[in-house]
């Protein structure tokens, strides 16, 4: 009977490999700082990227950054002018300009209190800043920027003592001027076709992006 000690084992069958959980995929993703439109699309990143020519990417553009046509769009890297730029094979002539433009909430009431409470339907978040404008009565708020201390669907509390301000009469807007820190435009490498959660110390938490998990170049 011959010895089997020198037999080289074959590859492990795929069904015997341990599963790769989606939360452990690490995407090559970077914040977009500018986009130049034309017959090709030039994307500049806020930090040096690690992309290669021929690599496939996807862009995620939140609603208030413009460039709505590019949100979710895939393309290929065809040139790398610098370590913070990529040229994509996406025709973007005439697309909506890229840049943050915050939503505006219409004010219907303002308290004389410390802190000040503004009545306005909104979906802002604590820690963001709003610019107040066109208020009649409590005009001391106009032209000033305040941090949101707390909010709900119908009001927001801002970081100012309005006790001695004028009594609210009518009108006014509160415009978001700082974007959400965890909701920024991103360019993401597409590798394994999978779906799961972008996790870890990245820019977004509990965000599900199908097919955008690992750089396999």
Tokens of 116: 């000040």
Q: What is the reported pLDDT for 34? A: 96
Q: What is the reported pLDDT for 14? A: 52
Least Cα distance to 190 among 206, 210, 211, 207 occurs for 211
Give Cβ neighbours of residue 108 (< 8 Å, ≥ 6 apart). Answer: 119, 120
23-59, pLDDT tens digit by residue?
Answer: 445 567 899 999 999 999 999 999 999 888 988 899 9
Q: What is the reported pLDDT for 138? A: 97
139-198, pLDDT tens digit by residue?
Answer: 999 999 999 999 999 999 999 999 999 999 999 999 998 777 667 899 988 763 334 444
Q: What is the reported pLDDT for 116? A: 97
Tokens of 145: 């920027």
All domains in the chain, ordered by first residue: 22-99+182-208 (2.40.30.180), 104-176 (2.40.30.180)
Q: What is the reported pLDDT for 201? A: 39
Looking at the predicted structure, is the pLDDT value of residue 103 above 70? yes
Q: What is the reported pLDDT for 149? A: 96
Least Cα distance to 70 among 101, 92, 40, 38 occurs for 92
Query: How far, in Å, are 4, 28, 98, 184 from residue 63 at the CA level?
Result: 64, 22, 11, 10
Secondary structure letter of residue 80 according to DSSP: E
104-106 β-sheet, strand order:
104-106, 173-176, 129-133, 145-151, 155-158, 116-119, 109-110
| Mean pLDDT, residues 123-143 taken together | 94
């Amino acid at each position: 009977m011959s010895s089997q000690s020198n037999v080289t084992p074959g590859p492990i069958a795929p069904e015997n490999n341990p599963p790769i959980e989606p939360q452990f995929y690490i995407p090559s993703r970077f914040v977009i700082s500018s986009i130049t439109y034309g017959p090709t699309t030039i994307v500049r990143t806020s930090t040096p990227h690690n992309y290669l020519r021929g690599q496939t990417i996807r862009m995620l553009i939140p609603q208030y950054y413009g460039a709505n046509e590019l949100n979710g769009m895939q393309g290929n890297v065809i040139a790398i002018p610098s370590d913070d730029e990529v040229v994509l094979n996406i025709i973007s002539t005439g697309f909506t300009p890229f840049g943050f433009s915050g939503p505006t909430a219409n004010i219907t009431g303002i308290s004389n209190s410390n802190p000040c409470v503004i009545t306005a339907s909104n979906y802002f978040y604590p820690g963001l800043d709003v610019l107040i404008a066109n208020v009649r009565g409590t005009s001391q708020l106009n032209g000033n920027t305040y941090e949101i201390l707390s909010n709900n669907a119908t009001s927001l509390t801002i970081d100012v003592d309005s006790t001695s301000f004028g009594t609210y009469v009518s009108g006014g807007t509160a415009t978001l001027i700082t974007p959400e820190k965890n909701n920024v435009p991103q360019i993401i490498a597409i590798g394994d076709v999978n779906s799961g959660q972008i996790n870890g110390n990245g820019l977004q938490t509990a965000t599900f992006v199908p097919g955008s998990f690992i750089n396999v170049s």
